[in-house]
Amino acid sequence: MNDRRIRKAIFPVAGLGTRFLPATKSIPKEIMTLIDRPLIQYAIDEAREAGIEEFIFVTSRGKSALEDYFDESPALAAELDRKNKTELAKVLESTNMDSGAIAYIRQTRPMGLGHAVWCARRLIGDEAFAVILPDDVIAGQTSCLKQMIDAYQQVGGNIVAAMEVPKNKTSDYGILGATDTSQRIVPVNAMVEKPSPEMAPSNLAVIGRYILSPDVLSALDGAGLGVGGEVQLTDAIAKQISADGVYGYRFEGQRFDCGSKAGYLQATVAFGLAREDLRDELMAYLYDLVPSQVLAS
Ligand code: UTP
C-alpha cells in the first residue's frame, strides 16, 4: 500500500455545543441544517471526495440523532418511489453509507479535542489519518481535504488547514509560527493555542482539517490539560515539528465557522445564494432588507 494514502477520517462530534443552547439541549450541533442538509453531511461529502473510506465518529451522550442519520430508510425510500419523487429519492440515496464504513466510539467526558481524537486511537492503528471538524464548513471548487491530501502526497509529515485571521482574533485559534507564511504549503516552526495578539507568532490560524501521523496519537497518550483545561490537539501536533514536520496548508475556498451563530448565519446566506432554486427569492429579500437595515443603523 502507498504509505501516503489517507483512508481513515476521525469526526470529533462529542462537544457540548454550548454556543447553540438551548437548541443543542436535544439536537446535536452537527445535525443542525445548512439549508436542507445537516452539517455532518457536508463533512462526509468532503471526506468522500477526498477518497476517505473509513469514517470514525467520536460521539457522546445525546448524539443518537446523529447515529440514526446514517441509517438507511427503506420505508421512506419506498414512499418517495411510490409517489414518483425521483429527485428526492436520489438526494436520500446520496446520504447512504456503505455497511461497515462507519464506526462510532464514545468520549465519556468532554475533555477537549485532543482527547476526542485520542479516543479513536485503536481504530486508527498505525497509519496516517485525517481529522475533520464538521462545524468548519468549507465551500470551494475542490474539497479542502482533497487539496490537503494532494499536498501530503508531496511533503508527508503532518498538515493542518490554515487561514489568515485578523490579529485581534488570534486568541480564538491555534496559531502557526513560520519564517515565511506566504506559500501555499507553509513549513511550521511553532504552534501556539489561543495566544493573545501580542503573543501570537503570526496571524495564520489552524482551522478544522488535519492530516496527522499516528505519532500524534502517541503524543496524546497521557497528555496533560492545556489551555482552557482541555487536552489540546495543537500541543500534540506541535511535538511533531522537530520529528516528521508540520505544515500549514493555505487552502483554496471559503471557510464558515458554523460553531458560532454569526458564522452559521453567514453560511446559510452564502449557501442559499449559491442554490439555483433559492437564489432569486433570497436575493430579492436581501435586496429589500439590507438597505433599510443600513439606513436604520
Ligand atoms: P468546540 O470548541 O467547538 O466545542 O469543539 P463544542 O463543545 O463543540 O462547542 P461550544 O464551544 O461548547 O459551543 C470543536 C470540535 O471538537 C469536538 C466538538 O464536537 C467539535 O466538533 N469536541 C470538542 C469533542 O469531540 N470533544 C470535546 O471534548 C471537545
Q: Where does ligand 1 bind, in terms of residues with CB under 6 Å?
A: 12-19, 29, 58, 107, 110-113, 115-116, 133-135, 259
**Separation of CA 92 and ligand 1 centre (Å):** 28
pLDDT of 294 higher than 80: no
User: 5-14, 106-115, 194-203, 220-229: lowest mean pLDDT where?
Assistant: 220-229
pLDDT of 226 higher than 60: yes
**Which grid coordinates are listed for 60?**
457522546
Question: 290: pLDDT confidence band, cut at 50, 70 and 90?
Answer: confident
Can you give the pLDDT at residue 136?
A: 97
For atom 1 of ligand 1, the residue with the nearest CA is 15
How much is the mean pLDDT over the chain? 92
Question: 87: pLDDT confidence band, cut at 50, 70 and 90?
Answer: confident
**What phi and psi values does residue 225 have, to the nearest 5 degrees?**
-80, 140
Gap between the Cα atoms of 62 and 273, Å rounded = 33
Gap between the Cα atoms of 240 and 263, Å rounded = 31
Average of pLDDT values for 260-269? 96
Average of pLDDT values for 120-149? 96
- 121-130 pLDDT, tens digit per residue, is 999 999 999 9
Gap between the Cα atoms of 249 and 169, Å rounded = 19
**Separation of CA 1 and ligand 1 centre (Å):** 34
Counting residues of the chain whose pLDDT is more than 70, the rounded percentage is: 99
Atom of ligand 1 at shortest range from CA of 115: 28
pTM for this entry:
0.93
Closest CA to 130 of 49, 62, 204: 49
Roughly how many angstroms between the first and final C-alpha of the chain, as a whole number? 60
* Cα dihedral 207, 194, 21, 10 sign: positive
Question: 187: pLDDT confidence band, cut at 50, 70 and 90?
Answer: very high
For atom 7 of ligand 1, the residue with the nearest CA is 15
For atom 25 of ligand 1, the residue with the nearest CA is 14
Give SS3 for 55.
strand
90 burial type by CB count under 10 A (0-12 exposed, 13-18 middle, 19+ buried): exposed
